[in-house]
Each structure stands twice: as C-alpha cells, then as structure tokens.
A = this chain, B = another copy of it.
Amino acid sequence: MPDTNITDPDFRVTTGPLPASRKVHVAGERFPDIRVSMREIDLSPSANEPPVRVYDPSGPYTDPAIRTDIRLGLPELRRSWVTARGDVEAYDGREVKPEDNGLREGQESPVPLFDRAARKPLRAKAGANVSQLHYARKGIITPEMEYVAIRENLGRQRLAEQAARDGEDFGASIPDYVTPEFVRDEIARGRAIIPNNINHPETEPMIIGRNFLVKINANIGNSAVTSSVADEVDKLVWAIRWGADTVMDLSTGRNIHTIREWIIRNSPVPIGTVPIYQALEKVNGKAEDLTWELFRDTLIEQAEQGVDYFTIHAGVRLAYIPLTAKRVTGIVSRGGSIMAKWCLAHHKENFLYTHFEEICEIMKAYDIAFSLGDGLRPGSIADANDAAQFAELDTLGELTQIAWKHDVQVMIEGPGHVPMHKIKANMDKQLKVCGEAPFYTLGPLTTDIAPGYDHITSGIGAAMIGWFGTSMLCYVTPKEHLGLPDRDDVKVGVITYKLAAHAADLAKGHPGAQERDDALSRARFEFRWRDQFNLSLDPETAEKYHDQTLPAEGAKLAHFCSMCGPKFCSMKITQEVRDYAAAQEGMAAMSAAFKEKGGQVYLSDRPVPEDHH
C-alpha cells in the first residue's frame, strides 16, 4: 500500500484503512458521476462469506488510493453540484478581523493560515433559496439526495428480499430500501435534513432523520495553546475514523476562526458550531454586551467558512428563566446561560428569538441547518422533564414552523439528564410539538452518580431514545463533568455511541442492520478470531484484549479461547448437536412417510415436555 500520509509532521494526520478494510464506491443512477463511499470488511477465506459493507464517515483519510494533504484541503466533491443549479453567486465575502481570532489589532498569531487561494464564498443569488428543503419542496431530487439514498442502503438491496423485518419502530416509516424519491419526501416534510453549507463542498452528504440510520456527533475543541494545526485537524480525523457522522467545533479562545477554516477545509463530514460562543469571545466574555448586529456578523463569518449547522438557543425566552430558579442544577447549557444572562441584564426578550426570521434569511442563503438548542435542558435527574425544559421545547416547535416557512432545514436538540422512565415522554413530546423534525440528543444520562463513566450512563439513555426515534446522538466521553477529553476519551465516546446507535437501529428493525452482528457472531462461533476483531467497532482494542490472555499468534487460529481453554469448549459441542439433529430429522422424515397428517413430528417448534416425575 502506498504511504498516503505526508511526511511533514506539522501537517500530518492519522491516515490508513482499518484492518481488513477497503473503500468501495457505488455510482449513482440518476447522477452517474456521483461515487458514494463505503467500507468493506474482508473476511478470511475459510469463512466462505462475502465482505461486509459498513457505513463509513471517515472520508479519504482511510483510502490508500488518495493522498491527503491538509494544506490543500479535501477535494471539493460537491462544488459542481452546487454551481450547476445556477442559483448561487461568488462574492468577496466579509473581511476577516483580528477579533475573529480573539486578537488585538496588529497582534500576530503563531497559527498558520489555511491558504484559501482563489476560493471565494458562495451565497444564494438575490431572492434564491439554496436549501435542500427548498429543492425538495419544489420536487427536485438533488445529487445530495441520491448520494444519501445510496449511502443508507449499503448495497443491501438483496437483504430487503431475504429477511422478514423484525423490530419495533414506534411509528417510524423506515422503508425496505431507500430511494432518492423517499429522501426527497422526507426532507420536504421536514422529517430529515442533509446539513451541507454550499461553502463546505468537501462534504460527503449524509442524512439525519428517524427513518434513516441513527447518526452520532462528536464534539471537539481547540487547545488553549495551539501550536499545530495538524493536531487540531487530527481531532476531527480521529473522531470520524471511529465513526462520528458529524463533528461540532466548540472551540473558544484564540485563533478559532483560523482553526475552524483548517477543520472545515479538511472535513468530509458536516461541521456544527454554537456561534454564540464566538460572539461572546468578541465581547470579552461579557454576555450583556452581546448585540444582534455582532451576532449576525458572526453568523455571516461562519456561514462563509462553510459551517453546516448552527446551534441557536432561540428558545431561551425571558419568561422561562424564572422557571429554572428552583432547579437543583439551574441552567447548565453554556449557550442557554449566556442568553439567560443577556435577557436578565437587559430585561428583554432573547434577541435570537426576536430576530429569528432574519436568521432564517441567512440560513437559506447558504443552506445551513438549524440545530435549535435546548438551553434549558435538565442538568440532573431531579430537573428532568420540568416546566422550564418543556416550555422551551414548545417554543422550539413554534420556531420549527417559522424555519419551515422559510424552507430552512431544522433539527431540535434534546437532553441531558433523564431517568429511563422519563425518556420516552421527551421523544413523544418532541415528535408532537416539532412536527417530527429530527431530534438530536445529548445522551441522555440515566443517573447522576457515575462521573468518570458518563459515556455509559448516557449510552444507556442514548440507545433507548435512539430506538424511540431520535435521529442523532451527541456523544458523551468518560471525562464529561470532569475535564477535557483526550484522544483516548474521544475514541471511547465515539465507539460507545456507535454501539448505542447500532443497538437502536437493530431495535427499530432497520433493514440489514443485523448483517454485521450475524457475520461477527458466525466468526465468533467458528473461532475466526481475526474476522471477529475486524468486524468489531474497535478492532485494535478487541485484538489487544485477546492478546493480553493469549498473546501467541497461533492462538488466533486456535479453536478455543481463554475462557474455557482447550480442554473443554462449549462451542465444539455444536457440531455434535448438528449431527444429532440431522439424524433426528432423517428419522423423522422416514417415519413421516408412514404417518397420517397430524401425526407428531420430532423437532416441532415447541416440544411437549415429558412428565418429569
């Protein structure tokens, strides 16, 4: 395999395929030039099974055929799709100001600039609307829509014919097979979104909606003292390597504009931000100094860079703030508390709420999706499903309708900390008041007592709410509530959420979701250790754990494992069982020839127990 990594350590990020994995590309039918990326995991020859195709957000970094160089950015996959529609114009764009990077006038930054070269920002022509929702409602199927249709199917056409659907989807409408028409319909009714700013043509389109595979988001943020843009970009690359479908850049402090540029130019997944964080930096952390004009300018700044979705805390209304006064944990959302502080300081309604339609005008000029923030989400079990939380959710429902009036794509953020018995009420209420707009939840955490393990307490809630209908799950790392996640924490968080999302897909009865489980279980049962590792979400850890007990390479070929050892193995008995059952069936077939209809055949579904006395 060619070395696809560049050698300059200042610009080197993690590349290379996962074990036994290859990139495959599936061409479009309606748009023959689109090539949808997937990953195929090859099994050992003894398996005598086809490779297993899996969803793959990792982009070109895991493709040995592509040499990536973060100085150049990723290929602009979607640029021609965007320009071909004839409704955008390039323009000079807003000038980058020192305060965008938290710098004083004339202050130098050690962080190198990404060379935008001749790249000018695009925006909708006057009067145009470039959102996928707008196209969908006009009946237009875009290349983005066909791309996600193919991507969701994972080549599973054959599976739809095979297996009976099994699952409980709580009223979802998951099709056997995803067509571009189905994608368009789901987007048109607001039930799914494709976040993809026209200024982020590097994305491989992905869809978020309850009738599609459950997605996960990973949060990253810049280091307080950044010296290497490679380190910052590698946070993104690392998160998508393990399966993050979108990444939110929650950076604060210095150089955030510059680092965001590096991240977007090198991201094959949608990037989300919370623009109020940067706006707050520009007023030196004094929430009361925020203004609509400064916020609007920040939206334009990020829109031109290519941010794909904005968290907007427009539901934190002045009247709801007192509802949090008697909470155990008050307001825990950072954006929510910024807006609450602003509202209280001015005794005025939230300017994100009063200027919401103007925000919509910006969103539709770039096709940025709303992620309507839950600034009043509960921060503890005690505060779950309270008046403040649900008052805000009602408002998010109103705002959804306004966004939809503008043909702007919307998803809704959800909690937080919620005990298991109160999770479904969140989903049911969100579906009802937000018209089935995609729900995007943080966990929820199902207890408060396990700091250090909150990826797990929240993974429980995430799997459940994903099953009930949540479209995207925002990960939580083991460091939640305690500190900043490092590389290992990010990986553990992503893998935990991948397994939670997959558990949800299985329970919803998503067609073909069980294919990977079955392939892995067959590998496990047949002692194909390499296949078991390679099919797992984290092959490195699986192999490492195996090798801690049985390090010899030969043990990976052994037909036993460390649990029972070579002397006795439960799995070895299966062949004897199969031989026995075959013999019984043979006898039964013979005797059946002599029996009347209605005679008892051995091996019925439920044998009649003998009297055991």
A residues sitting closer than 8 Å to B (CB atoms) are: 166-168, 252, 280, 285, 287, 317, 319-326, 328-334, 336-338, 340-341, 344, 349, 353-354, 356, 379-382, 387, 390-391, 394-395, 398, 417, 419-421, 446-453, 455-457, 459-460, 463-464, 467, 478-479, 481-484, 486, 495-496, 498-500, 502-504, 506-509, 514, 516-518, 520-522, 524-525, 532-533, 535-538, 541-542, 544-550, 561-565, 567-568, 570-571, 573-574, 576-578, 580-582, 584-585, 602-603, 605-607, 609-610, 612
Q: List 16 A-B contacts (CB under 8 A).
A: A167-B419, A319-B607, A322-B581, A328-B521, A331-B570, A337-B570, A340-B573, A344-B580, A356-B612, A398-B609, A417-B521, A449-B517, A452-B542, A481-B532, A482-B546, A486-B548
Tell whether, in the assembled complex, residue A538 and residue B606 are in contact, meaning their CB atoms are under 8 Å apart. no
Chain B residue numbers with a CB within 8 Å of A337 are 570-571, 573-574
Chain B residue numbers with a CB within 8 Å of A573 are 330-331, 337, 340-341
Tell whether, in the assembled complex, residue B483 and residue A549 are in contact, meaning their CB atoms are under 8 Å apart. yes
Tell whether, in the assembled complex, residue B448 and residue A517 are in contact, meaning their CB atoms are under 8 Å apart. yes
Given contacts A340-B573, A446-B503, contact A421 B167 (CB under 8 A): yes
* Cβ-closest chain B residue relative to A375: B570
Cβ of A357 to closest chain B Cβ, rounded Å: 8
Query: Which of A379, A495, A580 gathers the greatest number of chain B CB atoms within 10 Å?
Result: A580
Tell whether, in the assembled complex, residue A452 and residue B420 are in contact, meaning their CB atoms are under 8 Å apart. no
Identify 6 new A-B residue pairs, CB closer than 8 A, beyond the known A338-B568, A450-B537: A331-B570, A449-B535, A450-B495, A451-B536, A457-B499, A482-B561
Cβ of A576 to closest chain B Cβ, rounded Å: 6
Given contacts A482-B546, A483-B549, A520-B449, contact A285 B330 (CB under 8 A): no
Whole-angstrom CA separation of A353 from B334 in the bound complex:
61
Given contacts A419-B506, A612-B353, contact A577 B537 (CB under 8 A): no
Cβ of A609 to closest chain B Cβ, rounded Å: 6
Chain B residue numbers with a CB within 8 Å of A287 are 568
Given contacts A446-B503, A447-B499, A502-B447, contact A328 B525 (CB under 8 A): yes
Whole-angstrom CA separation of A331 from B548 in the bound complex:
26
Tell whether, in the assembled complex, residue B329 and residue A524 are in contact, meaning their CB atoms are under 8 Å apart. yes
Cβ of A405 to closest chain B Cβ, rounded Å: 11
Chain B residue numbers with a CB within 8 Å of A459 are 456, 459-460
Tell whether, in the assembled complex, residue B577 and residue A322 are in contact, meaning their CB atoms are under 8 Å apart. yes
Given contacts A329-B525, A517-B449, contact A460 B500 (CB under 8 A): yes
Tell whether, in the assembled complex, residue A321 and residue B499 are in contact, meaning their CB atoms are under 8 Å apart. no
Tell whether, in the assembled complex, residue B450 and residue A420 are in contact, meaning their CB atoms are under 8 Å apart. no
* Cβ-closest chain B residue relative to A315: B609
Chain B residue numbers with a CB within 8 Å of A464 are 420, 460, 464
Whole-angstrom CA separation of A612 from B319 in the bound complex:
12
Chain B residue numbers with a CB within 8 Å of A542 are 451-452, 482
Given contacts A353-B612, A450-B537, contact A580 B322 (CB under 8 A): yes
Tell whether, in the assembled complex, residue A446 and residue B421 are in contact, meaning their CB atoms are under 8 Å apart. no
Tell whether, in the assembled complex, residue B320 and residue A607 are in contact, meaning their CB atoms are under 8 Å apart. yes
Tell whether, in the assembled complex, residue B537 and residue A506 are in contact, meaning their CB atoms are under 8 Å apart. no
Given contacts A459-B459, A546-B483, contact A532 B451 (CB under 8 A): yes
Tell whether, in the assembled complex, residue A582 and residue B285 are in contact, meaning their CB atoms are under 8 Å apart. no
Tell whether, in the assembled complex, residue A382 and residue B514 are in contact, meaning their CB atoms are under 8 Å apart. yes
Whole-angstrom CA separation of A535 from B452 in the bound complex:
12
Given contacts A502-B447, A502-B449, contact A574 B481 (CB under 8 A): no
* Cβ-closest chain B residue relative to A509: B421
Select which of B325, B379, B460, B550 is within 8 A of A525 by beta carbon: B379
Chain B residue numbers with a CB within 8 Å of A479 are 545, 548-549
Select which of B452, B567, B607 is within 8 A of A285 by beta carbon: B567
Tell whether, in the assembled complex, residue A522 and residue B562 are in contact, meaning their CB atoms are under 8 Å apart. no
Whole-angstrom CA separation of A72 from B187 in the bound complex:
71
Select which of B381, B578, B584 is within 8 A of A517 by beta carbon: B381
Tell whether, in the assembled complex, residue A456 and residue B496 are in contact, meaning their CB atoms are under 8 Å apart. yes
Whole-angstrom CA separation of A329 from B447 in the bound complex:
34
